[in-house]
Structure 1
Amino acid sequence: MVDVRPPLLYLVHRIPFPPNKGDKVRSFNILRQLAQGHRVFLGTFVDQPEDHAHVGRLSEWCEEVHAVPLHPRLARLASLRGLLTGEALSVPYYRHADLARWVRDTVRRNGIRQAVAFSGPMAQYLDLPGLDRRLIDFCDLDSAKWTAYADDHRWPMSWLYRREGRRLLDFERRMAAGASASLFVTEAEAALFRQLAGGAASPVEVMQNGVDAEFFAPRETYERPYPTGEEVIVFTGAMDYWPNIDAVSWFAHELLPAIRRMRPRARFWVVGMNPAPTVLALAGNDVSVTGGVPDIRPYLAHADVVVAPLRIARGIQNKVLEAMAMARPVVTTQACATGLTVMDDECEIAHGGEDVVSRILSLLDDREASLAMGRAARDRVLADYSWQAHLAKLDRMLEACTRAGQG
């Protein structure tokens, strides 16, 4: 039987399987959505040795997969060319001759006219004849993230991060100007880019994150991974990511002691892959660091409170949506809740460190209120944060691009 679905090029900066961290959750769900209506040709980097074993699984959704090994240390060295060329370092970090050659050959050989780039740096591969419909999923405004990093570091890193913010914004503007549309996770990110890009950008749209509420569902069958008697405060996320490192360090050093003075049985659990040395050093009498775990759901299901104390955050955090889907009470900072539409009884959004402490103590003190918040949080996810509802916009945008190209 002839497959009449049109071909589509999908470029991702990190292999979108397994969906076990924030960016991979979004890129994987986009892949599944694209595969419903297109023959997907996927070009991606693999930056973790253990992920090479998952390349074969992608054939379930893709007609062709080209996975290029990316060695982070070598890529960091290659990115330094940007200091000589005037580029943002993020761009040469993801520049690879083999991937560029595959993209050119694949587009020409298969007559591909539609392409989706996931993350800004992957848009550098889209300047090709014949690719007349190009969507860029920037997710977050990374240039603003690097600028924010500069405020939390001393020279020379502050200078380097500030430079990266400026040069990456220039790149983002150029890529958006040549795209059919640019996507961001929240209206706040999209509005900021519209402001910074001036009139140079193509249409800037919002496509929010979602959560698989069937997978992240509260059940009685999860075995408790924590010692009996502990009051568990848990943070989940990739622990080699600077905003997560900063969040757990701040919480452990500055906020946890005040909580334990009132609740001596409280313990902070940091659950996530690739913990940086700074994170590992937190482990002790009142903090546990697990590293990667086979399944995050038992750690959420048996948590008394899920905390997301990020001070640097962009977009809607998957960690918050997953905890809400699991019917757990969540305490988060304002920075981490940007773009999240919730009522006061569905999620605790704290204003500063003392407020984080106060809200956690209140939830630990009132079990019924805690359970009620978890139930309300799951109801909100079911109503407003399904992947299917958000990703339907992607199909509409590609259809609109197709109609425009035929007009």
Structure 2
Amino acid sequence: MQELLYLVHRIPYPPNKGDKIRSYHLLRHLSERYRVHLGTFIDDENDRKYLAKVRNLCGETCFLDLHPKVARLRSLRGLFSGQPLSLPYYRDKRLQAWVSNILGTRPVRDALIFSSAMAQYVSHASHVRRTMDFVDIDSDKWMQYAATTSWPMSWIYQRESRLLLGYERQVVRDFDSATFVSEAEADLFKQLAPEAAAKVTYFNNGVDADYFSPQNIYANPYPTGTSILIFIGAMDYWANIDAVEWFARSVFPAISAQLPKVEFYIVGARPTATVTALAALPGVTVTGSVPDVRPYLAHASLAVAPLRIARGIQNKVLEAMAMEKIVIASPQAVEGISASPDQELVVANDESEFVSRIITLLQCVPNRALGRAARARVLKDYSWNESLGRIDTLLSQPQTS
């Protein structure tokens, strides 16, 4: 069996948030074809209980603790070295030593790197075929953050965007190939780095359509006699925080004024103080972590994705579509999803459109055809087996760099 080095910025389990869903399915797929040597960080102590499960999919492993507060302080070195802050944030001499040992002692021919900051560990490993899974264009995401904040943070985010884009372009020049989470994301990067366009491709995220199936039966977690709008996501992630705060404060009050029995549920782990405070608003519930999001999806009236900052593909949208839920989303939230507006999901451009379209949808007879069409789209275009076949094709090509 061939051997492969796989570096991931966060332990690829459990698959309960966007990056972990993709990195886990990649690991599981690769483990069927390669002896995978995994190097990764643990930034949540709760994830330690999954180490054995991850090890079972791997050959050699290196799990290192990453304390976010310490890493943020370490990242400030980038201000003095002219580097993007993301690089010192994830820099660790122990991981570098482990990578060097693996590449020096094991017959590794391929390295797959997940997230741009991890590329620094194989920057000089030109003797192996290196594939970079950027997933999203992180540099563009930092630019979006800059547009939503004031100085001095806006300056820091603009700096990060500029320097990180330079680093992303360098990585693609040095590596053999680079992938993104959607065709739209890949096309945008080709515009930002035209010199590397020939090396850039994509593979979609997938959905476990059997797990997220509308045929499964669940107890109703909601109060009787209510209509539920649901948002699901990791609630310590800035883009999700911004989305639910905007929706709860600027959109939902106008909906509940006309439809008093409508409630807004925010479902997801690690809610920040900003998110928790939203539970004080009338009709808003913040659940925190739940054992299974599917009962909440199954019994919700509508799934909302009012993201104003977004890149790539939103798994929360695909999972709701797989369960035949009508999803009403911002253009940013559906940018990388090949679904037809008003036929497979609903797009709202601003506050007034969210209000009017949600009220219309809640007052009408449920549109079962739209929900069925949504699931059909997921089954057609977002199967993990089909998506990950593109990685097999990449790894079978000759080395170019």
TM-score above 0.5:
yes
Matched, 1:393 2:390: yes
**Structure 1 residue aligned with 2:231:** 235
Amino acid paired to 2:336: G
Amino acid paired to 1:297: R
- Given that residues 43 and 65 in structure 2 are in contact (C-alpha distance below 8 angstroms), is that contact kept between their aligned partners in structure 1? yes
Q: For the aligned residues, what is the CA RMSD? A: 1.4
How far 1:170 moved relative to its partner?
Answer: 1.1
Matched, 1:340 2:365: no
**Structure 2 residue aligned with 1:301:** 298
How far 1:202 moved relative to its partner?
Answer: 5.8
In structure 2, what is the Cα distance between the partners aligned to 1:202 and 1:9?
24
In structure 1, what is the Cα distance between the partners aligned to 2:125 and 2:89?
24
In structure 2, what is the Cα distance between the partners aligned to 1:198 and 1:86?
24
* Correspondence 1:152-191 to 2 at 5 A: 152-191=148-187
TM-score of the aligned structures, taking structure 1 as reference length: 0.95
- Given that residues 305 and 330 in structure 2 are in contact (C-alpha distance below 8 angstroms), is that contact kept between their aligned partners in structure 1? yes
In structure 2, what is the Cα distance between the partners aligned to 1:123 and 1:367?
51
How far 1:365 moved relative to its partner?
Answer: 1.3
The SS at the match of 1:168 is helix
- Given that residues 104 and 128 in structure 1 are in contact (C-alpha distance below 8 angstroms), is that contact kept between their aligned partners in structure 2? no
Amino acid paired to 1:28: Y
In structure 2, what is the Cα distance between the partners aligned to 1:156 and 1:319?
32
How far 1:200 moved relative to its partner?
Answer: 4.7
TM-score of the aligned structures, taking structure 2 as reference length: 0.97
How far 1:219 moved relative to its partner?
Answer: 3.1
Paired residues, number: 399
| 1:260-292 alpha-carbon deviations (Å, 9 max, x no partner) | 122110110000011111101100321000111
The SS at the match of 2:112 is strand
**Structure 1 residue aligned with 2:74:** 78
**Structure 2 residue aligned with 1:359:** 357
Amino acid paired to 2:172: A
Alignment counterpart, residue 275 of structure 1, candidates 271, 274, 293 = 271
In structure 2, what is the Cα distance between the partners aligned to 1:120 and 1:137?
8
Alignment counterpart, residue 25 of structure 2, candidates 25, 29, 33 = 29
* Correspondence 1:237-276 to 2 at 5 A: 237-276=233-272
Amino acid paired to 1:311: R
In structure 2, what is the Cα distance between the partners aligned to 1:148 and 1:35?
36
Gaps of 5+ in 1: none
How far 1:134 moved relative to its partner?
Answer: 0.5
The SS at the match of 1:135 is strand
Q: Taking every aligned residue pair, what percent have the same amino acid on both sides?
A: 50
The SS at the match of 2:247 is helix
The SS at the match of 1:376 is helix
Alignment counterpart, residue 374 of structure 1, candidates 371, 387, 395 = 371
The SS at the match of 2:190 is helix
- Given that residues 235 and 270 in structure 1 are in contact (C-alpha distance below 8 angstroms), is that contact kept between their aligned partners in structure 2? yes
Matched, 1:58 2:35: no
- Given that residues 233 and 307 in structure 1 are in contact (C-alpha distance below 8 angstroms), is that contact kept between their aligned partners in structure 2? yes
* Correspondence 1:58-207 to 2 at 5 A: 58-129=54-125, 131-200=127-196, 203-207=199-203
**Structure 1 residue aligned with 2:318:** 321
In structure 1, what is the Cα distance between the partners aligned to 2:188 and 2:372?
34
Q: 1:250 to 1:372 in 2, by over 3 A?
A: same
Amino acid paired to 2:18: G
Amino acid paired to 1:365: Q
In structure 1, what is the Cα distance between the partners aligned to 2:144 and 2:126?
38
| 1:111-135 alpha-carbon deviations (Å, 9 max, x no partner) | 2120000010011111244642100
The SS at the match of 1:367 is coil
In structure 2, what is the Cα distance between the partners aligned to 1:13 and 1:129?
18
The SS at the match of 1:368 is coil
How far 1:397 moved relative to its partner?
Answer: 0.5
- Given that residues 108 and 128 in structure 2 are in contact (C-alpha distance below 8 angstroms), is that contact kept between their aligned partners in structure 1? no
Q: 1:92 to 1:141 in 2, by over 3 A?
A: same
Deviates more, 1:208-217 or 1:350-359: 350-359
The SS at the match of 2:13 is coil
- Given that residues 221 and 295 in structure 2 are in contact (C-alpha distance below 8 angstroms), is that contact kept between their aligned partners in structure 1? yes
Give runs of ≥4 in structure 1 deviating > 6 Å: none
In structure 2, what is the Cα distance between the partners aligned to 1:227 and 1:131?
60
- Given that residues 112 and 130 in structure 1 are in contact (C-alpha distance below 8 angstroms), is that contact kept between their aligned partners in structure 2? no
The SS at the match of 1:34 is helix
In structure 2, what is the Cα distance between the partners aligned to 1:368 and 1:272?
26
Gaps of 5+ in 2: none
How far 1:232 moved relative to its partner?
Answer: 0.4
Amino acid paired to 1:362: T
